Amino acid sequence: MNKPLRLDFASLHAAYQSGETTPIALLEQVCDAAANAPAGVWISLVPREAVLARARELQDLDAATLPLYGLPFAVKDNIDVAGIETTAACHEFAYLPEKSATIVQLLQEAGAVVIGKTNLDQFATGLNGTRSPYGVCHNALLPEYVSGGSSSGSSVTVALGIVSFSLGTDTAGSGRVPAALNNIVGLKPTRGVWSMSGVVPACRTQDTVSAFTLTARDAQTVFEVAAQVDASDPFSRVSQRNGSDFSALPSWKLGVPDAKSLEFFGDGEYERLFGESVEAARELGAEIVEVEFAPFLEAAKLLYEGPWVAERFRATKPLLETQPEAMLPVTRQIIERGGKVTAVETFAAIEKLAGLKKRCDLVWQQVDSIITPTIPTGYTVEQMLDNPIQLNSNLGFYTNFMNLLDYSAIALPAGFRGDGLPFGVTFFAPAHFDEPLLHLGGRWQETHSELKLGATPYHLPNAESKARPAWKGAIPVAVCGAHMSGLPLNVQLAERGARLLQKTRSAPIYRLYALPGGPPQRPGMVRVSEGGAPIELEVWSVPIEAYGSFVAGIPSPLGIGTVELEDGSKVQGFVCEAVAAEGAEDITEFGGWRSWLAAKNS
């Protein structure tokens, strides 16, 4: 396979805007990549002619009005796309929809282009990616490992750089488990805020469409487009956009499962990586609070009991009654049990869940969000096929309770085992906290920018580093010298409760000088009319009550003025009087203070 395309939203939009590529040229390449994907990824592809016809239409439209302009996406094959067969990974069940699912229509109206329908665990019943008559969908990074399911093909198409994003569904973890195993972002929105109209149900009261992207910022764009009330979906509800942007506060509270509840099934590397992830969250400002996790795990066990297995049976009852052999044995074994659930058992389970939810919801009085491993360990395809029920269950250890308890969640990349298998974490919060979680995801990825995106050779793009808004009651300030992280004067920011918002660069309209004096020696960034260059910066959010004392301590010839960032936004920041640069050492060629210090001290 050729080098993957760079398809994160920011990079592709920039390529369109600059004229580096066009929708027609790009989608030609995408069609080629899709046609050459590994076996087991796709169930069907949109005809090339139809994809390119849509590309030609887009070239006559205003890209600025379409947030998903020219972005290729894949659709899990239990979600309808007009004119393309929906199979739910079962030949005998297949039908040809006349109209697309509501969410597909919304994404297309925003400029996105469907490339094809992806493989899944049959009837979205499984978390591993091996339960399909269309073949096993292998892990994007280590093919001997499972890709995760049920949204297996959807996750792999994104991880391999074939499409910019994809749709999955999530009932028990199908939008998160594959994200963890393929080093990408998985958004499981609050149930009902994305329409399920035109989606084959697995467990109708618990299902939600989910999204896989390379970045959390991309997931936020998809969320905003798709969060529309749909009168044709009886479970549709308004996205209330609850909650403050808690992870932008100077300090916020993050729950971690109590030690006795954590489970890694003997995977010491995943256990270590989770510990490192908790410390990484602490560096983002989180105050770590251990929470009792037993009620969450008890709730998880209900998903494959009582009414929720009965829902799976109801969704496939006609097929089971007429062609039971059409289902894979493992799928049928799970779903058939639902036909024996009584009304008494159903109401008992509903009552039990209500009690557990009350216990679990008490945790939100203590914390803003909770972090868990997304999965406790990973398995090879061979291991999964040898023990399909138990190992599949293990994959859902940290995911099965989420929809039952009506929570929102985002799965994020967090590192790798020594053998190269990805590790991921999930942050979750109450219903309608989707956007605060997406913002947290963006900050998380910015502090993990060393991780590549999916199985591609690319990292988080610079265009993703637009300044995040300061928390209410604070002022963003750009620093270019000794106030940056790890340098001598950074303590002046830390002791005032300031928070790092982003690492970025200035617009290319400045020169940088090493001013005489010190210690510590200071840089002077001077705006120029010509001959400027981008300069390395950090933007810190300084509480208003501490801003005055911080500014008062800045010695002449430095001061605070307006600094333009490389994305065109403007913030307050350190500037220098031009006269002070006369006779000072011009260090612009180093691109920033750190690089100059490193060269000077080498």
Same-domain check for residues 313 and 459: yes
Please report, for the domain that includes residue 266, its CATH number: 3.90.1300.10
In a domain, 497, yes or no: yes
Q: Of 438, 464, 490, which one is at a domain's C-terminal end?
A: 464
How many whole angstroms separate alpha carbon 138 and alpha carbon 76?
16
In a domain, 2, yes or no: no
Please report, for the domain that includes residue 588, its CATH number: 3.10.490.10
Does pLDDT of 463 surpass 50? no
Q: Of 414, 435, 464, which one is at a domain's C-terminal end?
A: 464
pLDDT value at position 467?
Answer: 44
pLDDT in tens, 45-93: 999 999 999 999 999 999 999 999 999 999 999 999 999 999 999 999 9
pLDDT in tens, 502-551: 888 999 999 999 988 766 778 999 999 999 999 999 998 888 888 889 98
- Of all residues in the chain, the percent with pLDDT exceeding 70 is 97
Same-domain check for residues 189 and 229: yes
Instruction: List phi, psi (to 5°) of 574.
Output: -70, 130
Same-domain check for residues 166 and 289: yes
In a domain, 129, yes or no: yes
- Mean pLDDT, residues 242-256: 88
Between the CA of residue 368 and those of 249, 251, 292, 302, 434, what are the distances in Å? 11, 11, 15, 25, 12
Same-domain check for residues 328 and 218: yes
Q: List 72's β-bridge partners, or say none.
A: 113
Same-domain check for residues 311 and 457: yes
Does pLDDT of 468 surpass 60? no
Burial per residue of 574-589, b for 16 or more beta-carbon CB atoms within 10 angstroms, e otherwise: bbbeeebbeebeebbe
pLDDT value at position 150?
Answer: 98
pLDDT value at position 506?
Answer: 94
Same-domain check for residues 396 and 300: yes
From 132, 147, 150, 152, the catalytic residue: 150
Same-domain check for residues 394 and 530: no
Residue corresponding to tokens 């290319």 = 508
Residue 174 bears catalytic tag: yes
pLDDT value at position 464?
Answer: 42
Q: Are the C-beta atoms of residues 79 and 104 closer than 8 Å to each other? A: yes
In a domain, 1, yes or no: no
List the domain range (segments joined by +) for residue 557. Answer: 466-601
- Of all residues in the chain, the percent with pLDDT exceeding 90 is 81
pLDDT value at position 244?
Answer: 78
Task: Kindly indicate the confidence band of residue 251, based on its pLDDT and cuts at 50, 70 and 90.
Answer: confident
pLDDT value at position 569?
Answer: 84
pLDDT value at position 462?
Answer: 67
Q: Of 430, 464, 498, which one is at a domain's C-terminal end?
A: 464
pLDDT value at position 260?
Answer: 97
Local structure of 521: helix, strand or coil: coil
In a domain, 147, yes or no: yes
- Mean pLDDT, residues 147-153: 98
Question: Token digits for 289?
Answer: 């609070």
In a domain, 521, yes or no: yes
pLDDT value at position 281?
Answer: 97
Query: What is the overall mean pLDDT for the chain?
Result: 94
Does pLDDT of 600 surpass 90? no
pLDDT in tens, 179-232: 999 999 999 999 999 999 999 999 999 999 999 999 999 999 999 999 999 999
pLDDT value at position 466?
Answer: 44
Same-domain check for residues 548 and 585: yes
- Mean pLDDT, residues 376-384: 98
Same-domain check for residues 406 and 481: no
Residue 76 bears catalytic tag: yes
From 174, 195, 197, 236, the catalytic residue: 174
Does pLDDT of 465 surpass 50? no
- Mean pLDDT, residues 269-281: 97
pLDDT in tens, 412-457: 999 999 999 999 999 999 999 999 999 999 999 999 999 999 999 9
Q: Are the C-beta atoms of residues 221 and 212 closer than 8 Å to each other? A: no
Task: Pick the range with the lowest mean pLDDT from 165-169, 245-249, 353-357.
Answer: 245-249
From 44, 76, 277, 506, the catalytic residue: 76
Same-domain check for residues 501 and 353: no
pLDDT value at position 491?
Answer: 84
Number of domains in the chain: 2
- CA torsion sign, 304 to 310 to 315 to 317? positive
Same-domain check for residues 236 and 226: yes
pLDDT value at position 553?
Answer: 85
Question: What distance lies between CA 503 and its chain's CA centroid?
Answer: 20
In a domain, 4, yes or no: no
Residue 408 bears catalytic tag: no
328-333: long-range contacts (C-beta < 8 A, 24 or more apart)? 328/122, 328/131, 328/132, 328/133, 330/126, 330/131, 330/388, 330/389, 331/121, 331/122, 331/123, 331/125, 331/126, 331/131, 333/389
In a domain, 424, yes or no: yes
Same-domain check for residues 460 and 476: no
Question: What distance lies between CA 426 and its chain's CA centroid?
Answer: 10
